[in-house]
Chain A
Amino acid sequence: MSEAEKFDAIVVGAGPAGSAAAHTMAKAGLGVVLLERGDYPGAKNVMGGVMYGRMLADVIPDFMTHAPIERVIVEERLWIATDDSAVSIGHKTANSHGEIPNAFTVLRAPFDRWFASKAEEAGALLVTGTVVEDVILDNGRVAGVRTGRADGDLLADVVVICDGVHSFLAKRAGLQQREIEPHEVALAVKEIIALPKETIQERFNVSEGEGATIEIYGTVTQGMGGYAFIYTNRESLSVGAGALMSHFMKTKITPYALLERVKQHPLVRPLIAGGQVVEYLAHAIPEGGYKAMPKLYTDGALIAGDAAMMVNGLHREGSNLAITAGRLAAETVIEAKAKGDFSAQSLSAYREKLQHSFVLKDLQKYQHLPEFIDRHSDLLGIYPDLVNHAVHEMLTVDGMSKREKQKKIWRDLTARRSLWQLLKDGYQTWKVIR
């Protein structure tokens, strides 16, 4: 009968956080096993998905030469939309992106597979088709994991938990005691809509290899707190929408009906016309931010990525926090190994590293935003209308004198939202995002 195998580290979940952690530790010579419950990394993963180059380059500096990326983003647009119009603001650059592009789209199935294979190249042992059912505790210390395989116990000095949103292991390892609340998580659905690359390049006005992103706020989420998005891939579009779970529960709108409405929007329809739906996906997204995070470390364990609620929803960032946290977790383990100390005290260095990085700093900056979105999603119904009306009126050349027009716009605005209310909205919004 074989004894349970012992590793320096076990990483649970071969997503961005897990592969970043496994790669970093393996490269430093540690014996790492990377466990993935899907048949292949990425089988269970969904993202919008825009990824940010610098954080990936921190782990794999030459990723541009062989990572399966879709399009390098050269234009980002924000639409504040009513049912039939939008005020848009955006940024486009004609500059070449240099060695490391700021942002690019990916498809998670090929990407995660590639990323995990890099961890393997660095020396990590990737084991797929294997669910981790529980952590193994030894006198309260996390000492390994129990998998679904027969004789499937694995031991390690440290377990790095990267098992995604609604992490089961966070609870088992004692990092999270309570249940996640519906206002702390969003539900997003998306479709991959196939279109010829020339069509995409024409419609979005980008060259080969380049892409655009569109985020749409307003009545498109039918009163729920969330947004819709369109991202360009090489030969497809990722079109999706999401909203807070608590709002889905209240409105009874189905996620697929929400997405269909987005696709039918008169400003969206022409962009996706002629496309063929080739995949339909859905996933929960942590939205609770800093206040909803579990403990980040304990004796023998660390947690990173979605499992640790590391998502900055306002800025559309999650995978870069995951990759950075995975890397910082790995660096902590490497240091702990040198000291031979895997206690919570030793592993607390992980939190320090996160605090010095943008990860905790950004999550702390926006810690009051989730509550705001839950309570004030009505603003998403009110302001797009006001903004569109004001801009449309200003652009309408109908013989009214400009001074009269300005007065009319101001009257129309304050009739729908009093000056006092406008100031209050502005102040409250500024307070949660500053």
Chain B
Amino acid sequence: MKIEEKLFLLTYKHDKQTHITIRSNEPCANQCGAQWGRPCTTFCPANVYNWDGEKIAVSYENCVECTSCLTGCPYQNIDWRLPRGGFGVQYRNG
């Protein structure tokens, strides 16, 4: 089962606004690739972060709010905030 199919099983209350932004493209484009290999594109369990050749594309709708990107970005370059009250993932089992 691919990750997209697993995420599809989840219930979300999607907000129109993102709760995740990349602070600056500079570290992603000029430093992280060589130094770290852009770990956000691999450690995120919900495939939120993808390098499109120029910048990190953020698919905030996938986010399961695990909070790992708060520690995992070596440049502290991810501005991750709590989604607005009631929005985001809603686990049925947990």
Interface set of A (CB-CB < 8 Å, partner B): 37-40, 42-47, 49, 107-112, 128-131, 147-149, 164-166, 168, 179-182, 184-185, 187, 189, 191-192, 236, 245, 248-249, 252-256, 277-284
State A42–B91 Cα separation when bound (angstroms): 7
Q: Does B9 contact A (CB under 8 A)?
A: yes
Within 8 A of A (CB), among B35-94: 36-37, 39, 42-43, 45-46, 64-68, 70-72, 74, 76, 82-86, 88-94
- CB A371 to nearest CB in B, in angstroms, measures 16
State A102–B66 Cα separation when bound (angstroms): 29
State A128–B66 Cα separation when bound (angstroms): 19
Chain A residues positioned under 8 Å from B65 (CB to CB):
44
State A38–B65 Cα separation when bound (angstroms): 11
Interface set of B (CB-CB < 8 Å, partner A): 1, 3, 6-7, 9-10, 13, 36-37, 39, 42-43, 45-46, 64-68, 70-72, 74, 76, 82-86, 88-94
State A207–B23 Cα separation when bound (angstroms): 54
By the criterion CB–CB under 8 Å, are B1 and A277 in contact?
Answer: yes
Q: Does more than half of chain B's interface fall in helix, strand or loop, or is it mixed?
A: loop
- CB B19 to nearest CB in A, in angstroms, measures 10
By the criterion CB–CB under 8 Å, are B43 and A108 in contact?
Answer: no
Contact partner of B93 (CB less than 8 A), chosen from A44, A107, A253, is: A107
- CB A324 to nearest CB in B, in angstroms, measures 21
Least CB separation from A163: chain B residue: B82
Chain A residues positioned under 8 Å from B88 (CB to CB):
38, 44
Chain A residues positioned under 8 Å from B68 (CB to CB):
185, 187, 245, 248, 282, 284
Q: Can you name 19 A-B residue pairings with CB atoms under 8 Å?
A: A37-B82, A38-B90, A42-B94, A109-B91, A179-B76, A248-B39, A249-B36, A254-B3, A254-B43, A255-B43, A255-B45, A278-B9, A279-B93, A280-B9, A281-B91, A281-B93, A282-B66, A284-B67, A284-B68
